[in-house]
A and B are shown apart, each in its own frame.
Chain A
Amino acid sequence: MRALLRTLVERLASLRITVVLLVLAMVLVVIATLDQVHLGIWAVQAKYFRSFVVVQQLPGTGVSIPFFPGGYLIGGALLINLLCAQFLRFTLTWRNLGLHFTHFGIILLLVGELLTGLLAVESHLTLDTGDTKNYAEASFERELAVIDVTDPAFDQVWAVPLSRLSRREPIALPGCPLTLLPLQFHENANFFMRRDAPNAPASPATLGFGPAVVVQPAEPTYRPNEENAPTAFVEFRGPDGPVGVMLATLAIERPQTFTAAGRTYAVVLRRTRIYFDFSLSLLEFRHDKYPGTEIPRNFSSRVRLRSAEGAEDRQVRIYMNNPLRHGGYTFYQSGFKNNDRTTILQVVRNPGWLLPYIACVISGLGLLYHFILTLAGFLQRRRATAATTA
């Protein structure tokens, strides 16, 4: 048994496997990069890197076939290969110390990238000058928010992720008399006013603005400057039976209200909100240009940071290459709109953010050590040969 295990580890640690995996990794990166022209960066990441197998739909058919190992598979296999090799060949000498460090750093880097893929959440915070917000809006995730607005002083919010809407099963809201039944769900859709398309079939919607709008399902887009408009028809049921059907879409982000069981509810499909225990207010946004040109020189946002309990209240400047790190979140100057009156901050929560830094330092030092050692050896040998030939 032990012998078998040892043979297995020996096989797994083979340099031949390393080379094959490195070549596969390279090919994966190359095809993924080329595919970015069609798919855009986010879809490519999901398809090629954050997957075990790359699946490609054959053009013209609905058939999808796996055609290449994905990032998780190759990365995982490299990790196993590397661990086996380290386990098998690990001898600590001054000569190979640098290589050990390098490989250990690479292991950390792979683990860090895995953690980032699993744990990191990216969102955006859009602030007008003078605005204050204590939440960011997720870049990709969307939610259907059902808000009990009966009490003007207090809102109770239920948020349903879109993945549940696409399943078309009844959704009960804990502590709320309402049940949701998704009738239709589209990743993306276009909209017309019903008065412009009088011959369109009747809308399933009975509440809110839904009846006045015609929905035309559309292919999801991956272009960097376009956004999908996820759209759903949802039936609301109260304790006394159906209340009505509502059209909810990201394209029309206006809360629609209705009354059921004596309470008033507002419904809106919006970017998933991530709440902080502090708030940010935009005091000033600056967009400097080089004189006589339109070339941007700097974007910067002066914001006021206040914690909920009032322990902290200070001014911060967020600008290019100088993010604000606070409460586990990092805020980056990402964009602007509205004639330089509105700033867009990218907000990232990545518990593993330090790992790559540590990995890099270890790897870099290891490589540098090994390189200097090799160079010194080379120079010494040369001096020796020069001495013998002289």
Chain B
Amino acid sequence: MKRYLPLLAGVVALLCVAVTLVLPKNRDAFDTQGFGRLPVLVGGRLKPLDTVARTSLLLIQNRQRVKTPDGHSLTPNQWLLDALFKPALADTYQVFRIDNNEVLALLRLSPDDGAGGVRFSFAQLAPHLDDLDQQAERAAQLESPEQNAYEREVLKLRNRLHTYLGLRYSLQLPESDDFAAEVIRFEQILPEALAATEAKMAGKTADENLVKELAGYLKKFQLLSGRATMLAIPPPPAITDHNAWSNFGDALLASFATSRVPQPVRDYAALGSAWRAGNPELFNRAVTALGEHLVGRDDPRLPRTALEFRFNHAEPFYWAAALYVLVALLGFVSWLVWPDVLARSALRVGVVAWLLTTAGIAARMYIESRPPVTNLYSSALFVGWVGSGLALLLERFFRNSIGNVVAGVLGFVTLLVAHHLQFSGDTMEMMRAVLDDNFWLATHVVTITMGYGACFVAGVLALVFVLRGTLSRSLDPETAQALLRMTYGAVCFATLFSLVGTVLGGIWADQSWGRFWGWDPKENGALVIVLWNAVILHARWGKLVGPRGFMNLAIFGNCITAASWFGVNMLGVGLHSYGFMDSAFFWLCAFWASQLAIIGLGCLPPHLWRSRAAVEA
């Protein structure tokens, strides 16, 4: 049995992965999955409605799960359908996250009113939206470094409300009782009403009621056109411009010229009515019709949206995080019992987890048609990918399970960080002009991120050295030597990639801003990493530090890398800043404190180390 454990572990991990590829069934007779597959153009990107539902929920409430007041749980797509077509009902769902008590006070609410103390319904916020608007106007006048926590939360909440209300006006007029009937009526009267209006303008007699009714529609559609955030209506098949999608209001306004309401508008209106009336048959027919409308188009983005839907459901990073935990656990236990068998099992599971993140990153690259790192979120994925890949490679050579533990810890922590970074909305957003350059994204950004990953590998290896050495007797001189060599290798790798990445960044800056080096915070962050790695290497070459000193320097590298990766974004200045993140700042400080504490531990004189032999040698 023991002999087959590594094989078994690998197979179980693979099974886990296979399960994620199975698409879930609809919960009831409504084909909500099919609805989720329909592509729309939002934020400049063609994506399935499923993504819109998930990213909206992450933005509004930092999670995808929704609980209704009567205790049912909803899938993101069901929530989106309610938000789109049953606004009065959706307004009662407690989905707006508010973390700041002053903001709650502004809205005359207390934590007791919300689900979990932090989530509130639109209906709860509605009575005091004017106050919120006023405060948000004031806060928006300030530059981001000057805003305090309250002002930032006010702006965040306004942004969340804006997203929610934008959805509500995307596929129907929320004020209307039966929008589908209105659309049908509009199309019926359109030719006659247009003729009547023309006649009236020419000063002839005309049917006043028809003219008035048409003017009413015009007003309503203009409202829709101004408020909808989603471009849901595809261009007619004959049009070759793939970006000519229009929003619901614009599509309806365009029919004044053509006298015909586009088929997708009618289908979406019918879909909405069916959802409201609870008629699965009509609903599913509308979903099918909307899907068929896009069949046979040569837009290369359509297959990508299909993959994106699958990707959303497979949640590869979620499962990889779980597997990484298993890898770290197996690695730890292997230091106590069954070293060989458990180390090999951990390596197998680790490789599966790593391949899973590889597949996830590759899928994102295909969907976006971009190199792997485009924003902070994807940098977290990539740092973890590089870091755990490097650690697994070290494990392959050294076979002492240290690589397993490092891969597991680094893989899990970076995926956890990534999870918390996706709350700002779509993680595959379009790139702003200066960043819209695949060559530099693929070279500078990738190398610099690989440098971050390698720095963390060196840092975590050093953590293993100090913690095992001071707290346990398990660090024998041979393992200590191996750890030193591994860390040294990782520092060399980190130096190479940080230096090359920084320099490539300089060249990019020279190409786009006219200066090779601008002392921008992000550039400085990269430079500090290079300098610190140079310090570590020169201190070792000059024999200025022994094993303990070397390891402590490598641990401090964790602090520096984290500061350069995240701290710089929190400064709120410079060309690279992505905005201040309050809770992230807390965690960054906590991380620094933990690293400094471990460095303190590492500074203990050798006779206080429980694995004394390892550091005295």
A residues whose Cβ falls under 8 Å from a Cβ of B: 14-16, 18-19, 22-23, 25-26, 29-30, 32-34, 36-37, 40-41, 44-45, 49, 109, 112-113, 116, 120, 122, 224, 289-293, 295-299, 320-323, 330, 332, 334, 346-348, 350, 353, 356-357, 360, 363-364, 367-368, 371, 374-375, 378, 382
**CA of A109 to CA of B247, assembled, Å:** 52
Within 8 Å by CB of B531, from A26, A122, A291, lies A26
**CA of A291 to CA of B229, assembled, Å:** 11
Q: Which residue on B lies nearest to A379, using beta carbons?
A: B397
Within 8 Å by CB of A32, from B433, B500, B519, B538, lies B519
Tell me the smallest distance from the CB of B501 to a CB of chain A, in Å. 10
Report yes or no: A116 in contact with B515, Cβ–Cβ below 8 A. yes
Q: Which residue on A lies nearest to B488, using beta carbons?
A: A374
Report yes or no: A363 in contact with B542, Cβ–Cβ below 8 A. no
**CA of A199 to CA of B247, assembled, Å:** 59
Within 8 Å by CB of A356, from B244, B506, B518, B571, lies B506
- With A37-B572, A293-B430 already in contact, the answer to whether A320 and B436 are too (CB < 8 A) is yes
Within 8 Å by CB of B437, from A45, A290, A296, A320, lies A320
**CA of A112 to CA of B531, assembled, Å:** 18
Q: Which residues of A contact B495 (CB under 8 A)?
A: 367
**CA of A36 to CA of B570, assembled, Å:** 12
**CA of A23 to CA of B519, assembled, Å:** 18
**CA of A350 to CA of B512, assembled, Å:** 14
Within 8 Å by CB of B433, from A29, A122, A297, lies A297
- Can you offer 19 A-B residue contacts whose CB atoms are under 8 A? A15-B541, A23-B535, A30-B528, A33-B521, A33-B525, A36-B574, A37-B571, A120-B515, A289-B44, A298-B433, A320-B433, A320-B512, A321-B511, A323-B511, A356-B503, A356-B517, A363-B499, A364-B499, A378-B489
Q: Which residue on A lies nearest to B516, using beta carbons?
A: A356
Report yes or no: A374 in contact with B492, Cβ–Cβ below 8 A. yes
**CA of A147 to CA of B294, assembled, Å:** 68
**CA of A14 to CA of B568, assembled, Å:** 33
- With A29-B531, A382-B397 already in contact, the answer to whether A41 and B512 are too (CB < 8 A) is no
Q: Which residue on B lies nearest to A102, using beta carbons?
A: B499
Interface centre among A37, A322, A347 (most CB of B within 10 A): A37
**CA of A14 to CA of B507, assembled, Å:** 32
Q: Is B434 an interface residue (CB 8 A)?
A: yes
B residues whose Cβ falls under 8 Å from a Cβ of A: 41-45, 145, 229, 231, 243-245, 247, 397, 429-430, 432-434, 436-437, 440, 485, 489, 492-493, 495-496, 499-500, 503-504, 506-508, 510-521, 524-525, 527-528, 531-532, 534-535, 538-539, 541-542, 544, 568, 571-574
Tell me the smallest distance from the CB of B147 to a CB of chain A, in Å. 13
Report yes or no: A296 in contact with B433, Cβ–Cβ below 8 A. yes
Report yes or no: B573 in contact with A36, Cβ–Cβ below 8 A. yes
A-B contact count (CB 8 A): 165
Given A33-B571, A291-B231, A292-B229, 4 more pairs with CB closer than 8 A: A350-B514, A364-B499, A364-B500, A378-B485
Report yes or no: A367 in contact with B500, Cβ–Cβ below 8 A. yes
Report yes or no: B499 in contact with A367, Cβ–Cβ below 8 A. yes
Report yes or no: B245 in contact with A22, Cβ–Cβ below 8 A. no
- With A321-B440, A371-B493 already in contact, the answer to whether A113 and B517 are too (CB < 8 A) is yes
Interface centre among B41, B44, B397 (most CB of A within 10 A): B44
Q: Which residues of A contact B437 (CB under 8 A)?
A: 320-321
Report yes or no: A19 in contact with B538, Cβ–Cβ below 8 A. yes
**CA of A57 to CA of B500, assembled, Å:** 38
Q: Which residues of B contact A25 (CB under 8 A)?
A: 531
Q: Which residue on A lies nearest to B245, using beta carbons?
A: A291
**CA of A32 to CA of B523, assembled, Å:** 12
Report yes or no: A291 in contact with B243, Cβ–Cβ below 8 A. yes
Report yes or no: A41 in contact with B145, Cβ–Cβ below 8 A. no
Q: Which residues of B contact A330 (CB under 8 A)?
A: 514
**CA of A7 to CA of B229, assembled, Å:** 73
Q: Which residue on B lies nearest to A105, using beta carbons?
A: B503
Report yes or no: B510 in contact with A353, Cβ–Cβ below 8 A. yes
Tell me the smallest distance from the CB of B249 to a CB of chain A, in Å. 12
Q: Which residues of B contact A375 (CB under 8 A)?
A: 489
Tell me the smallest distance from the CB of A343 to a CB of chain B, in Å. 13
Within 8 Å by CB of B434, from A36, A320, A350, lies A320
Report yes or no: B430 in contact with A360, Cβ–Cβ below 8 A. no
Report yes or no: A290 in contact with B571, Cβ–Cβ below 8 A. no
Report yes or no: A41 in contact with B519, Cβ–Cβ below 8 A. yes
Q: Which residues of B contact A295 (CB under 8 A)?
A: 43-44, 429-430, 432
Q: Which residues of B contact A29 (CB under 8 A)?
A: 524, 527-528, 531
**CA of A347 to CA of B436, assembled, Å:** 22
Report yes or no: A297 in contact with B430, Cβ–Cβ below 8 A. yes
Report yes or no: A360 in contact with B507, Cβ–Cβ below 8 A. yes
Tell me the smallest distance from the CB of A169 to a CB of chain B, in Å. 35
Report yes or no: A15 in contact with B511, Cβ–Cβ below 8 A. no
Q: Which residues of A contact B510 (CB under 8 A)?
A: 353, 356-357
Report yes or no: A15 in contact with B44, Cβ–Cβ below 8 A. no
Report yes or no: A321 in contact with B434, Cβ–Cβ below 8 A. yes
Tell me the smallest distance from the CB of B425 to a CB of chain A, in Å. 12
Tell me the smallest distance from the CB of A293 to a CB of chain B, in Å. 5
Within 8 Å by CB of A41, from B44, B244, B518, lies B518
Q: Which residue on B lies nearest to A322, using beta carbons?
A: B511
Report yes or no: B571 in contact with A353, Cβ–Cβ below 8 A. no
**CA of A49 to CA of B572, assembled, Å:** 21
Q: Which residue on B lies nearest to A71, using beta carbons?
A: B519
Tell me the smallest distance from the CB of B254 to a CB of chain A, in Å. 15
Q: Which residue on A lies nearest to B243, using beta carbons?
A: A291
The 3 closest A-B pairs by CB, nearest first: A290-B44, A15-B542, A348-B514
**CA of A289 to CA of B243, assembled, Å:** 11
- With A41-B574, A320-B512 already in contact, the answer to whether A15 and B528 are too (CB < 8 A) is no
Q: Which residue on A lies nearest to B527, using beta carbons?
A: A29
**CA of A318 to CA of B271, assembled, Å:** 48
Tell me the smallest distance from the CB of A376 to a CB of chain B, in Å. 13
Q: Which residues of B contact A350 (CB under 8 A)?
A: 514-515
Q: Which residue on B lies nearest to A109, using beta carbons?
A: B503
Q: Which residues of B contact A292 (CB under 8 A)?
A: 41-44, 229, 231, 245, 247
Interface centre among A112, A113, A290 (most CB of B within 10 A): A290
Report yes or no: B492 in contact with A321, Cβ–Cβ below 8 A. no
Report yes or no: B568 in contact with A33, Cβ–Cβ below 8 A. yes
Report yes or no: A363 in contact with B503, Cβ–Cβ below 8 A. yes
**CA of A332 to CA of B509, assembled, Å:** 11
Q: Which residue on B lies nearest to A365, using beta carbons?
A: B500
Report yes or no: B506 in contact with A26, Cβ–Cβ below 8 A. no
Q: Which residues of B contact A293 (CB under 8 A)?
A: 43-44, 430
Report yes or no: A37 in contact with B506, Cβ–Cβ below 8 A. no
Q: Which residues of A contact B524 (CB under 8 A)?
A: 29-30, 32-33
Interface centre among B520, B525, B531 (most CB of A within 10 A): B531
Q: Which residues of A contact B434 (CB under 8 A)?
A: 320-321
Report yes or no: A19 in contact with B544, Cβ–Cβ below 8 A. yes
Report yes or no: A16 in contact with B489, Cβ–Cβ below 8 A. no
**CA of A116 to CA of B510, assembled, Å:** 12
Report yes or no: A297 in contact with B535, Cβ–Cβ below 8 A. no
Report yes or no: A332 in contact with B512, Cβ–Cβ below 8 A. yes
Q: Which residue on B lies nearest to A382, using beta carbons?
A: B397
- With A295-B44, A321-B440 already in contact, the answer to whether A18 and B519 are too (CB < 8 A) is no
Tell me the smallest distance from the CB of A358 to a CB of chain B, in Å. 11
Report yes or no: B436 in contact with A357, Cβ–Cβ below 8 A. no
- With A292-B42, A321-B437, A321-B508 already in contact, the answer to whether A49 and B519 are too (CB < 8 A) is yes
Within 8 Å by CB of B492, from A45, A323, A360, A371, lies A371
Within 8 Å by CB of B430, from A15, A33, A290, A347, lies A290
Tell me the smallest distance from the CB of A384 to a CB of chain B, in Å. 13
Q: Which residue on A lies nearest to B563, using beta carbons?
A: A30
